[in-house]
Structure 1
Amino acid sequence: MFVERKANKVFKAIDRLEGKEVAYNEVQLKDQKDSEMKREIERIKQQINILKSSQSAHVLLFYGDWEDDGKFVFVTELVTCTLRSFVQRTKGVSIAVVKDWSLQILEGLNYLHSQKLDNLDIHMDNLFFLHNSGKGTIKFGLGLDSPSLPSHDFTPMELNGTEGDVWSFGMCVIEISTLDTPFDEFKADHQQIQKAVSSGLKPLSLLRIDEPTLLHFIWCCLKISPKKYSAAELLKHIWVRNSAPETSGEFIKLREEAEYLSFANKFASNQEGWQEYFNLITGKLNAFESGNYTSGSESDSEDVIIDIDIPKEEVVNKEEVVNKEVNVDKSSPQKAKLDNLSDFYLSQFIKSSVSPPGSARGSSPVGSRNQN
């Protein structure tokens, strides 16, 4: 056995007829209530039916399934390298690779959504890197459950189904780009992470990204309201449509470690730090839209998604916002404006139940990346 999860176990096995290693999956059903068992088995069978007929390069190959003594068994191709483990070993990949992986995951996500499959448990431990001739291939695991906490438990409550999958995909792009696990500032405190996500808080690792096009793409993935983008729409974004030359050797533009840590400390400790971050992100997104990728010309309209409601650069009094948050109706224009601003970390000051990132970690809210 090489993977054990709450609902299933995965074993390495040998297919003696074909002479190759395969993944032998056992899903435990006997400990569940009858109604839960029925729903679970139907959900798994639905996914497996897709595997049987899939022509997508990003879906696991399927070899067979059966039921046996309170267990549902299915056999797939063996892929043992998760995208997280591969990224951690590389210590950073080029822009060309980040673009290619973003495109591959989006194509797989779009295919699965077109087959009416969602809530796919999208995270870096459920995406697999397959070494083959030429460049590697990203494949989706089944949406059963993750070894730790399922990704959909981190998804904002406003987002369900396909929208939640796109949000989780955005988190994967952050990790691929920065090598940081999103929300690592909470030190795997799942309760605090869920509170932060529910408040609209974004991972502090976004501070690292100094690449306007990539930042715009991630922001489109993480949008909650009013416009939420599908995988099909995101496939039109210039980040994935315009591939980088594979031989360029260019890497994602990230902030220097000292600058990032200094800025993160200011953000966690006072409103001026938040305002500086707010202005910085706003400036980056505006720089993207004022460049060659605006939606003003017909030729650009198929290549990039614009319309992410960038707030104006303005100083916001956090006490005033707290008072408004308590009293405004959820359907009011003021509430809509607050929701938009909360996308830029404003919720850190709105929700008193959410501890600021790093509040329990001493002087530095974010640890340095491992450079070894």
Structure 2
Amino acid sequence: MPGWVKAFLEHRVKPGEHWLCSFAYEGERLVGVLPVIVRAHPLLGASRPVLHTLYDDLTPSGDVLLAPDRAEAALQSLFSELRNLIPGHLGLTLSGVRQGSPVLRALQHGADGYVRYRGTRSSYSYLNVQGDYGQYFAGLGNMRRNLKRFRKKLEGHGSVLVELRKGYPAASELLGEFIELEASGWKGRNGTAMADNPGAVAFYKALAETLGPDEEFEWYVIRVDNRVVAAQMCIRCGEALMLAKIAFDETYADCRPGHLLTGEVLRDVFSRQDVAEVNHLSNADWEGFWRMSHDEYVDVHLVRKSAMSTLFQMPRAAVHFAYQSYVRPRIPQRIKRIYRAFKRRGDRKPLRSATSRSVRQDEKR
């Protein structure tokens, strides 16, 4: 998405980095676009930089835009241009390339001037929403029954309204409410809310301003007596709706407003003609409640065929490849679960309403 790339280049490029963008044409037809970040090598400096596609915690997939029918020719042309513009670069990393991407097909026979290695593999969830919602909903089991119970419980607090907001100025206006709502909960207590990260706020503000007029920045909101109790930030890219961020008011935690809102989003998108897939670009445990499928995303390391690259870049790429191909598949699932739990050890999950009341009563005493 041009708007996403623009926001990234304005707000996510780190100090000491710079960027460039190459375009491949066949006649007057645009067949490829490759934006890259240029970073000095930690030992060799700026004369021997390393390149990578746009990728960070807010942009988990750094794919390359290619015309599917001209993917290989376009990609080789883009690589050739990189070698002309930055002749000293040691290599290029394409991060988070999705299974089935034209990039992976274009690289099946290698890349001129580079040695290819596969790196980290990630599994992200998605849901095909082109089928029948009634059939999908009937297959949710306990979640289907719980949603009805949670909705009835929420209605006990007042008049419930679910709305979809998109377009300008709704995209920007609701962002402020979302930031405040998110900061009021467990992420605010942990210091991981957007309000604690000015760079993230600036990035999403740029997205809202750029994508809002084209109705590619959307909000699903649940209100109780006009009070926002849950909000889902969505980005529409082609026929995919990306679920970027969600927040809810913990006062209503016993009504599970996050689950209710996700259910409302899915119910609506099954009826939309402009959405074929919901993509969360993560692999959170709660996604299993919604029977989501998973696709593999892989990092591709391209190391230049040169003496300097062989000495300083190839060993790192080879280690990544060996770990992902031979070591990681043999790690017992029990060890993986322990490691994931260790990484999440600092998270303080949202308090249930009953728990919250008990905590407040203890504090009063």
Task: Tell me the TM-score normalised to structure 1 length.
Answer: 0.24
Tell which has more relative contact order, 1 or 2 (C-alpha 8 A, sep 6+): 2
Larger Rg: 2
Compare the two structures and name the one with the higher strand fraction.
Answer: 2
Q: TM-score, normalised by structure 2?
A: 0.25
